[in-house]
Amino acid sequence: MALALIEGAGMALSEAGALTETDTGCRLTGVAFNDGTYLHFRVGRVDWAVDGLAALRAGDGSAVLAADIAVTDARFFPQPPDDWFAWMMEVQNRRNLIGGRLRARMDVAAEVIEIEEFSVDFPGRNGVSLATRAEGGLGFGMTSGGFDAMRLRRFELQVENEGYLDGMYLGILTERLRRRGDDPKAVEAALKAEIQGLVRALPDAVFPGPTRDALLRLVADGPAPWGRLTLSLEAGEGLSLNRFLDAELAADPFSPQALAAAMAGTTVTIGYEPWGARE
């Protein structure tokens, strides 16, 4: 299954690794693959266990699908055609190990989808983790009726960055900002002012004062903030995903009025702890 997912993503396997059974599921060790260019990936170990899949495929209305996937000692690195440069990249990245975990369950009868843990740990103080729970809508599938019936009950996110994540988005961000003008500093200042204006206008019922203050600190520390960002969304009656597809909101989905309407009854709590100034 793991190898099929890798190949299905358009990757080319260079080492198939060894597949064994464990007491709780399966284990794949020593797999390596690449994207067909210079970027190579190597994974020390993948452990996974999936329960309830047979019942779900058989159409059992009481099926409970549970998955637990753990990735250990993964890394990625460029491997250019120059042998010495490739050697340097290999040595430089040999200890930049990445780990991850996904624990999720779906209860068909109760119509509950829950991600108990999705986390990725990068080298140093760098990582992403989230947890969420949604209820209802499974009987409708991916339709407007399904989105209207589904209710997001909880969403929690934590992002820690001490430099490792900068390169993952700064390249894309730079190309987008380039279209705004030729002076990077001026474009950055104008964009920050624009975002800060949007943050200050956020509806207080959904984004209380401390949350807006945290967002302002985050924007001020950008475009490559170093620190810990936490986000918690609590929706007592459940947040309908279909609210965000409403035609009236689509024209300006981030306006205070649109957000207040779409997220009525929801409270968003955000914290941001910067990890010191950088020059």
Angstrom distance (rounded) from CA 203 to CA 201 = 6
pLDDT value of residue 279 = 43
Q: What percent of the chain has pLDDT over 70?
A: 87
Pair 205, 234: CB distance under 8 Å = no
pLDDT single digits (tens) 197-252: 999 999 999 999 999 999 999 999 989 999 999 999 988 778 876 776 665 566 67
* Dihedral sign (CA 188, 189, 190, 191): positive
pLDDT single digits (tens) 29-56: 998 888 877 788 889 999 999 998 888 7
Count of CB atoms within 10 A of residue 27's CB? 19
pLDDT single digits (tens) 58-72: 887 788 999 999 999
How do the residues of the chain divide into helix, strand and coil, expressed in percent and rounded to 5?
30, 40, 30
- Prediction pTM value: 0.83
| Three-class SS state of 228 | strand
**Per-residue DSSP letter, 145:** H
Pair 279, 189: CB distance under 8 Å = no
Angstrom distance (rounded) from CA 77 to CA 93 = 6
Angstrom distance (rounded) from CA 160 to CA 230 = 9
